[in-house]
Amino acid sequence: MAADSMEIDDALYSRQRYVLGDTAMQKMAQSHVFLSGIGGLGVEIAKNIILAGVKALTVHDTKQCTKWDLGINFFIHEDDITSQRNRAEATLHRIAELNPYVHVAASAVPLDETTDLSFLKQYQCVILTEVSLLLQKKINDFCHAQQPPIKFISADVYGICSRLFCDFGDEFEVLDTTGEEPKEIFISNITQSNPGIVTCLENHPHRLETGQFLTFREVNGMSCLNGSTHQITVVSPYSFSIGDTSDMEPYLHGGIAVQVKTPKMFYFERLEKQITNPLCLVADFSKPEAPLQIHVAMLALNHFQENFGRGPNIGCLEDAEEMLKIAMSVSETLENKPQVNGDVVKWLSRTAQGFLAPLAAAVGGVASQEVLKAVTGKFSPLQQWLYIDMLDIVTPLEKMGCEEFLPRGDRYDALRACIGDSLCQKLHDLNVFLVGCGAIGCEMLKNFALLGVGTGQDKGLVTITDPDLIEKSNLNRQFLFRPHHIQKPKSYTAAEATLNINPYLKIDSYINKVCPATENTYSDEFYTKQDVIVTALDNVEARRYIDSRCVANLRPLIDSGTMGTKGHTEVIVPHLTESYNSHRDPPEEEIPFCTLKSFPAAIEHTIQWARDKFESSFSHKPSLFNKFWQTYPSAEEVLQRIKSGESLEGCFHVIKTLSRRPRSWTQCVELARVKFEKYFSHKALQLLHSFPLDTRLKDGSLFWQSPKRPPFPVKFEFNDPLHYGFIVSAAKLFATVYCVPFTEKDLSEETILKIISAVKVPEFRPSNKVVQTDETARKPDHIPVSSEDERNAIFQLEKSIVSNEALENDLQMKPISFEKDDDSNGHIDFITAASNLRAKMYNIEPADRFKTKRIAGKIIPAIATATAAVSGLVALELIKVVGGYLADAYKNCFLNLAIPIMVFTETAEVRRTEIRNGISFTIWDRWTIYGKEDFTLLDFINAVREKYGIEPTMVVQGVKMLYVPVMPGHIKRLKLTMQKLVKPSADKKYVDLTVSFAPETDGEEDLPGPPVRYYFVQEDN
C-alpha cells in the first residue's frame, strides 16, 4: 500500500479489503508498531501484521540465535546459529520480504527497568513477548499515560499455557464492532400503535438484536418514517418494535429497514489493576473456571522467575511443588481468590521452558488481529485477557518418566519439553496427506516443519497436492510465496519453501485435484498408507468427497476453514467421532429465476443477472456455437439437412448468431448500443405493458409492492459514465468473442460517439409473452422453436452462404472464461456497468466495482490472522491424533476474531444404528466377505447371513442396483457370479457394496446396513 498516496494495491490486498474495508486499511498503512521478542510467538505476530500492511514495524530482540530457536522460529536457519546472529537481525530481511509496502527495522538495544521509554512515543501500538511481568507493568503504565494512549498488547507462550493481554487506554472508540454487512429487511406491515410493530416478509427472519438502530426508506403510507432512525426491540424472529407510531399515517405497503452501524466505546484498565481482578474471555464453556486458574498459574510462574532468576526446570517435581506454594499465595492476593488447579500449575511448571509452536500460531493469530484493531478501530477488542491451555495434550503423558522431556541438543528440544520424546518420534514417523496449499496449507506446512512431521529416518512422509498456480492476491496471506513465484504451482513452491524451514522434512508434492477422476492416484492403497489426512480446502464439495474416502479407509481427518475473521476446526477420528458428512449445513438460498429475470429487489439480484448475462453472451453461446460447427463442419451441409426436415439440436440459435455476427469494431459498438436498449429500456417497457402500475392481484392488493419494484426505462445518455462504460466494455467483449481486432483509437470517445450517433435503435414493440411470476419455477432448459423460426433460420443461413459470410473463419468464436482478478480484461467492468444500469432501472441502490467484484466473483474474504490461528489449532489436534488419545481429549473450535470469540467444544460421538436382534453398526464399521471365482450373488447373500446373522434383501454398488427383488429379472441374478455382475477391472481385488435388510413389519422402509467390502478371492493373510 503506497502510504503517501493512500492508494490500496487491490491485486495484493483484495481478499483482505473485503474483511477490513478501505478506511481501516488506510489507517493501518499509516501506523507504526513496536514488537519486542522475536521468538516463536513474536515471529508469528510479525508475520501476520506485515502481511496485513502496517506502515512500519520495529522488531526488537536482545537474544542470540540458538539451536532451540530452529524448532520455534520458522525464519531462523542453521547458519544464523553458526554465525551467532541476533534474533531480530537474523529474521529482519526474511520478514521484510513478506510485504514490500511495510518498512521493517531491527533493534537490539537493551530494554529493561532502567530504559528511558520515551522512544516508544513514535509508535501507535506496542507488543511485548518474552518480557518480565515487572517490565510489562512499567511499559504498560507508560503507554496508558500517553495522550492519546499507545495501545498495549502483551502475549506469552510458556509450555502448555498461553496468555494474551490488551490495554487500549481508558476509552477506545470502535466504529464497526462486527464487520458484518448492515442488514436490509423488507417490510410487510407496520402497526399504528405504541409501540409500533414492524413485521418482515414471510420466511425472511430479520436476525436483528434488541438495541440495534434501523433507518427506513420506501415506506408507502407511513412515509414520515422514511429517512428516520429508530432503536429497536425484538418481538419475534419476524417482528420488532420501533416506538410510537400511533399518530402517523396508516401503513399502505412496501418499505425497507436498513441497519445503522453505531460507534461503541470500550473501556480498559491498566495491567497492574487487571492482574488482581482480571476480565477474561472464556474459550471453553465446559471449563468456565479455567481462565482464572491459568491466570494464577502464570502469575506464579512469573513470581518463580523473579524469585529464583530462572524458570522451573523441565519435568522437575521439586520446582513444581515450589510453584504450587507460590500459586496458593498469589491466589490470596486476587480479588476473587480463585481456586488453584494443581494440575495446571504442575504441568505449567514441568513444561514452562518448552514451547508448543502450534499454540504460538493460534495465539499469534489472535494477538495480530488485536494489533490491527488497535491501529484501525475496526472490530471489538479483546477485554482484556485470553488464556488457552493444552492440558488435554499432556494429561495422558502423566506416567512418562522425567527423562522423556529432557533436551537432546536438537531442534525439537522445545517441543520435547512439552510432549516427551516418544510423541516427538511418532510425529517424525508420520505419513500425512495435506490437501490444498493455499493460506491454511502454507500455515500447516510451517507447523509440520516446526513439529518435525515426516522427518523420520526410516518412516514418515508429507504428501501435498494443489492444482492451482500462485496469483498476486495469494501473497497477502499465503506466506510461503513471494512475487517471483507468481504463476508457479502452489504445491511445488510450498514444498521448496518448507524445506527452508526444516531441510530434514520428506515431502512429495503433486498438482492433482483430489476427486473421483484421480482415484487411480489417490487410491484406497494410498489412503491406507496415510496416518492422517489434513484438508486445507475452500469448498464443501471437496471436503465431503475426502471425508467419504477417509471413512471408507478408516483414516483420521482434520478439517478447517476460514471466512474473513471467522474460522473453524473439526477433528474426525475413526470409531470415536462423527464424520464431516454426518452433518449438513442448510443449502445456500438460490435467487428465484423470476426474481433474477424480472423482479430484482436487491443489488445482489442485479449483480447475479449481470454475471449470468456475461456467462451466456461471452462463454456459453460461443462454446455452443463452436461445438455445433465441430459436429457439422460446413454451412452448406447444415442447410441441406434442415431443408430435408432434419432437426439439428441448437441450429436455430447458432444460425441466428452467425447471421448477426459483427465483423468490424463499428458493428461491435452498434451491437452493444442495441443491447443497452433491449436490457435497460425495452425490458422495462415490456414489464409495464404486461403489468401496468395499477395492476392488482386476486386479493385486491397491488402487484407492484415490496419486494417487487416496478422498472422504469433508462434513456441512453452518451455523457453518463455508467452508460458509456457499458457500451465500451460490452463492445470490447463482443470484439473478443467474435475475433474482431480493435485499436486504441477505436476506443476513443470521439470514435465511439461517431458510431453511436449513427445507430438506428429498434423501436419498442410490446409482445404477449408470458412473464414468469412463480418464485418456485426454474429456468427452462429449452425454449421451443416455432415453424416460423425454422423457416427464418433457413432464409438467414442461405443469405450468409450467398454473402460468403459462412466460411471456415465465420464458424468459429472465442469463448471467454470469467476471470475476476485481471483488471485489464474488462470482465468486472461489464458486470458492474450492467448491474448498476439494471439497479437504476429498478431504483435499487447501486454497488461500486469493489463490492460487485466480491459478489460476482464469489470471493471469500480472507485475512492472515484467522488463517494462522486456525492452522495452529489444527496442528495441536494433530498431536492428539498421533498420540492415539481418547475421545474426550479432542476439541473442535469455532472462532470469530472480530468480536472476538473462541469456542472449544467436544467432538460429536459417533452414532450407532440398530438393525435388529442386537445387530448394530456405525459409519466406521465395514463388513467383509471373501469370495472365490464362481461365487454367486446367492452365495454372497448367504455368506453375509452366516457371518453377521442377518440376510440382505437388497444389494447396491454405488448407483447401480445389483439386486432388488421387486425389480423385473433380478431374481434370476441370484445365480450369476459376482464377477459377472460387478465386472471388475483386472487389478480390482474388491468392491464396496451397500446392503439393506427387510423391515420387521411390512410397509416400512428397508433397514440400512454398513458397507460390505467383497473380495473376489480369498486374500493370503
Which among 308, 274, 298 has a CA at the least distance from the CA of 158?
298
Q: Where are the alpha helices (H) located in 437-553, listed in sequence order?
A: 439-451, 490-501, 524-529, 540-552
Question: Quick one: DSSP state of residue 247?
Answer: T
Measured between alpha carbons, how far is 550 from 540 in angstroms, rounded to an integer?
15
The answer to whether the beta carbons of residues 505 and 71 sit under 8 Å apart is: no
> What torsion do the CA atoms of 339, 344, 345, 350 make, to the nearest 10 degrees?
170
Name the β-bridge partners of 163. Answer: 156, 387
Strand 919-921 versus strand 161-167 pairing type: unpaired
For CA atoms 102, 103, 104, 109, the dihedral sign is: negative
Q: What phi, psi does 963 have (nearest 5°)? A: -150, 110
Residue 86 grid coordinates: 541476533
Q: 649-656: which pairs have CB atoms within 8 A and are 24 or more residues apart?
A: 650/624, 651/793, 652/785, 652/789, 652/790, 652/793, 653/621, 653/624, 654/624, 654/625, 654/628, 654/629, 655/793, 655/796, 655/797, 655/800, 656/793, 656/796
Question: Quick one: DSSP state of residue 679?
Answer: I
Instruction: Give Cα 284 distance to the centre of its chain.
Output: 23
Question: Quick one: DSSP state of residue 64?
Answer: B
Which among 300, 289, 347 has a CA at the least distance from the CA of 322?
300
Counting Cβ atoms within 10 Å, is residue 750 exposed (0-12), middle (13-18) or buried (19+)? exposed
Residue 594 appears among annotated catalytic residues: yes
Measured between alpha carbons, how far is 851 from 21 in angstroms, rounded to an integer?
11
Measured between alpha carbons, how far is 377 from 449 in angstroms, rounded to an integer?
35
* DSSP states along 347-375: HHHHHTTSB-HHHHHHHHHHHHHHHHHHH
Q: Where are the alpha helices (H) located in 738-786, listed in sequence order?
A: 749-757
DSSP helix/strand/coil, 567: strand
Helix (H) or strand (E) holding 913: strand 913-916
* Count, residues in the chain: 1021
DSSP helix/strand/coil, 431: strand
Measured between alpha carbons, how far is 313 from 319 in angstroms, rounded to an integer?
7
Residue 845 grid coordinates: 441502490
Catalytic residue among 594, 651, 668, 893: 594
DSSP helix/strand/coil, 660: coil
**Residues that are catalytic:** 594
